Structure 1
Amino acid sequence: MRVLLTGASGMVGRNILEHHSINEYTLLKPSSRELNLLDFSEVNDYLKINKPEFIIHAAGLVGGIQANMADPVGFLVKNLDMGRNLILGAKENNIYNLMNISSSCMYPRNGINPLKEELILTGQLEPTNEGYALAKIVSTKLCEYISSTDSRFNYKTVIPCNLFGRYDKFSPQNSHMLPAVIRKIHEAKFNGNRSVSIWGNGKSRREFMYAGDIADFIWYAIKNFKNMPQNVNVGLGYDYSIDDYYSIIAKVIGYDVDFEYDLTKPSGMKQKVVNISKLEAFGWTSQVSLEEGIKKTYEFFKSQN
C-alpha cells in the first residue's frame, strides 16, 4: 500500500519513520519544498500524480505556550490551510483513507477530566493556544463531515495527549514544556546554577506520552483502520504535576536543583488528561514509561549538543 506521510521531518513524522512497520509499505514522504501544503493546487496535483492509497497527516506548525502566544495568526492560518488543503485534495482525488493527527488542545479549558472525545466544541478554549486549537478543530470536523456524508471515505482523527521524545524541539522559543525543562536543567547542571525557574505555580497537571508510542499506535491503527473510532484519544489516561516533571527530569539528568516559581508567567490549563476508554476498546496501550522516555529523550538531546 502506498502511504503518504506529511510532516516527515517533524518529531512525530521521524518517529513514524523509525518504526519497524514502515518496511511493510511503500512510503511517500515529501519535504515542504517538494509539497507545499499551503497551496491547494500544488497539493491537488501531487495527489493526482502520486495516487497514495492512505494518508497520514502529521504536518503542522507546533510549539509551546510561548510560541503560540507570540504568533497566534500563524498557528491558526498555517495549520488551518494545511489541514483543509490536504483533506479536500484527498477527497477530490478519491483517496478513501486518511488519518488526521490532531491535538488534545482542542478540548475546552474547563472540560471535565479525563477529557472525552465528545467534549470537542462544548466550551471555551485555552487562550494561550486558541489559534492552534481552532485550526485542529476545523480539520477534525471536516473529516467527520466527509465521512458522514459519503461512506466511501474513512477520514478519521487521532487526538494525542502532549508528546515528547527523540527529534523534539529544545529551543526556549519553540519547545513544549518537557523538552524545555530538559534543556533548562541540563544547562543549570553545566553552568553550576543551583536553581531553575518554573512558569506558574507548578501545580498544573499534564499528560505526556513518548513519541515512539504514538508512532506505534499509528501503524497499529493503519492495520485496523476500519475499526478505529471516528475520533480517538491516544494517551496514558493519567497525568503528573509540573513539579513532578521537573523532579523526574532532574533525577534522570542527575542534578539536585532548587525550583523557583515565576508567578508572572501563565500556567495554561489546570489539568489536561485524556479519557482512553475508546483507545482501550480499540486494543492499543502505550509501552514506554515516563522515566524511560525522558532518558531516551535526554540522550538524544545530548547527542545534538
Structure 2
Amino acid sequence: MPRELNQTVFVAGHRGMVGSAIVRRLQALGYRSVLCAGREELDLLDQQAVHAYFSKNRIDQVYLAAAKVGGIQANNTYPADFIYENLTIQANVIQAAHLSNVQKLLFLGSSCIYPKQAKQPMQENALLTGLLEPTNEPYAIAKIAGIKLCESYNRQHGRDYRSVMPTNLYGPHDNYHPENSHVIPALLRRFHEAVQASQGEVVIWGSGNPMREFLHVDDMAAASVHVMELDQNTYQANTQPMLSHINVGTGEDCTIRELAQTIAKVTGFKGQLSFDASKPDGAPRKLMDVSRLRALGWQATIGLEEGLSDAYQWFVEHWLEARK
C-alpha cells in the first residue's frame, strides 16, 4: 500500500518509550503531520477533553501507545491504578476516534495478555485460554479489553482498528525508577550504580531461571508502522475477525541470568551476580510466536547486546533525567 505521508497521524503517548520511538520512525519515513499532545494539553483520562481534541483536529490515523506501565512491584502495589487508567485511556481514545470518523487505528498491547501457563512460544490463539499471571492480572485484563474494543468497533462499525502485542520492550526513554521499572532498566541502573560505587556484588530479584524475550523499542516502532501501513486485505488475510491482534517480538529468549550477565558486560561490571530467590519470578517463560508477523514481511533486526548497549548509552547521557 502506498505510504500516505500527508495524512495527519496522532500518536497518543508520545513522551513514553514506545510513543517516542513511533514518532521518530514516522518522521524518519517522511510523514509530514505527526500530531502529539502532552498531558498538560490533553488528559487522556478526561473523556470530554479527548473528544474535543479529536473534534478540533482532522486526524487520519491513531497510534494508541499511551498507557500506565510498570514492573512486577508496581503492578502489585497499584493494581487499581493500572486497570482503571488503562481501561479509561483506551475507551476514551478509541471511542473518540470512531466518533471523529478515524478509520485507521493501531492499539499497542502487551504479551502479558496470554495465560501464565500458555504453551511456548505463545501464539495469538492462546488468548483467553487460561489463567493470567497474578502479579499483573489487572494490567493484562485492561490490555485484553483494548484488543476487544478494536475488534468490536471493526465488527459493528466497519473500522480498521488493529492491535499489536509486543514482547518485553526496552530502549531510549525507558522508565528507570528504582522500584517501578521493568527488568532491563532496573538492571541497567543497578549495574551502573554498582560500577560507579565500585561495588563487588549486584543482587538480582528472583532465581534467574525464568526465560524472557526482549525487543528494542526502535524495532517495535518499525513493526508498528509496518502493520499500520499494510493493505487492509493483506492484514485481514493474516488475522481472524475474533483474533485480530498480531504478536511482535524477536522469536528468541534468554534466562534472566543470561540477561544479567550481558548487562554486566555492557556496563563494565566485573563483580559477583547474586540472585534473591525470595523475590517473585513471575511467569516461568514468555516467548512470542512471531510467525504471523514474519509472514506479513517484518522481523526484528536489533540484537540483544547491541540493543542493550544503545539503551545504556541513552541512560548514561540522560542520567540526571533517568534516575528520578
Q: Tell me if TM exceeds 0.5.
A: yes
Q: Which moved more, 1:159-168 or 1:116-125?
A: 116-125
Q: Which moved more, 1:195-204 or 1:20-29?
A: 20-29
CA contact (8 A) 2:167 2:214 kept: yes
Aligned positions of 1:285-304 closer than 5 A: 285-304=299-318
Counterpart selection for 2:132 from 125, 136, 144: 125
- Where structure 1 has 5 or more consecutive residues not aligned to the other structure, the ranges are none
Counterpart selection for 1:246 from 248, 257, 260: 260
CA contact (8 A) 2:23 2:34 kept: no
Q: Which moved more, 1:32-41 or 1:56-65?
A: 32-41
Deviation at 1:23, TM superposition (A): 2.5
Alignment pair present for 1:41 and 2:41: no
Q: What secondary structure is seen at the aligned counterpart in 1 of 2:30?
A: helix
Counterpart selection for 1:83 from 55, 79, 90: 90
Within 1, Cα distance between the matches of 2:288 and 2:262? Answer: 21
Paired position in structure 2 for 1:274: 288
Aligned positions of 1:54-133 closer than 5 A: 54-133=61-140
Counterpart selection for 1:188 from 183, 194, 213: 194
Deviation at 1:221, TM superposition (A): 2.2
CA contact (8 A) 1:21 1:219 kept: no
Counterpart selection for 1:220 from 223, 226, 234: 226
Percent of counterpart pairs with the same letter? 37
Paired position in structure 2 for 1:134: 141
Counterpart selection for 2:249 from 235, 253, 256: 235
Counterpart selection for 1:201 from 179, 187, 207: 207
Deviation at 1:22, TM superposition (A): 4.9
Letter in 2 for 1:40: Q
Aligned positions of 1:171-186 closer than 5 A: 171-186=177-192
Which ranges of 4 or more aligned residues in structure 1 deviate by more than 3 Å? none
Within 2, Cα distance between the matches of 1:21 and 1:154? Answer: 24
Within 2, Cα distance between the matches of 1:84 and 1:67? Answer: 23
Q: Deviations over 1:105-125 (max 9, x none)?
A: 111111111111111111111
Letter in 2 for 1:162: N
Letter in 2 for 1:173: E
Within 1, Cα distance between the matches of 2:43 and 2:15? Answer: 14
Q: What secondary structure is seen at the aligned counterpart in 2 of 1:24?
A: coil
Q: What secondary structure is seen at the aligned counterpart in 1 of 2:223?
A: helix
Within 2, Cα distance between the matches of 1:184 and 1:195? Answer: 10
Q: Deviations over 1:211-253 (max 9, x none)?
A: 0111111222232152334210000111000000000011111
CA contact (8 A) 2:11 2:23 kept: no
Q: Deviations over 1:180-205 (max 9, x none)?
A: 11111111111111111121110000
Deviation at 1:171, TM superposition (A): 1.5
Within 2, Cα distance between the matches of 1:138 and 1:32? Answer: 23
Q: Deviations over 1:14-65 (max 9, x none)?
A: 1122225452241110111211111111111111110201110000111111
Paired position in structure 1 for 2:270: 256
Count residues with an aligned counterpart.
304
Paired position in structure 2 for 1:30: 37
